[in-house]
Structure 1
């Protein structure tokens, strides 16, 4: 449900920037033989090419993201040939700083989208995430808590 909500809202918010979102789209680019299928939660496309990958985590972020979450986004970014990966958590404390991955040009940014927020504040946070995606940046992390 959280993933669907995030896909729907980002699709709406990124459209004015000329970006489109695809949720749970299958890709066979992980291995050179194309035998491994993976399905990122959301991929934002610009000019027909992947621009950013977003993974929705319906859980609380209580510090740095788990290593497995970072590895997942690094794999997606590498396979899709993109620099920006975004983890979006449904609750938690302050989001971690952007993680600039060693020996690569990949940055994974964590965001906290606190679902307990009033709709107006929730929408403000979503707008900030969309602006970051549209700018192709992985600047400071976006956090919103009640």
Structure 2
């Protein structure tokens, strides 16, 4: 049984999705490319399993949380899982290039496009910080929820810096 809830955020209403054990499968912002924009009719609305996720996301958006500690169960190939796991190692307030993340995921430089594609399918926006991956020249590139959302998240994490203004 797939359960879901929604919560307000600076990015708009987030859709949180979990499996029957309460592990997060997805955190999606409005307009996230390649992901559902609303709950599937077969899903069950149940905010109870999401209490910790809502609490931690609220703390993150208020600047009081830098690292999430939640049970996760995103669906993806072994390759995608390795890439998504590498996202977890990018420190709060930092950015890395796609090439750096490719190396961190244990992939050769020739795999950078495949790594970028895997990042683009990350279903756990904000929780798995794909917004911290930028172009080699520090430019904002690719974010499933849009570049404005990416900019907002990076500014939230580095309010003293006008990095992308």
Instruction: Answer whether TM exceeds 0.5 for this pair.
Output: no
TM-score, normalised by the number of residues in structure 1: 0.31
Larger Rg, first or second structure (1 or 2): 2
TM-score, normalised by the number of residues in structure 2: 0.29
Q: Which has the higher strand share?
A: 1
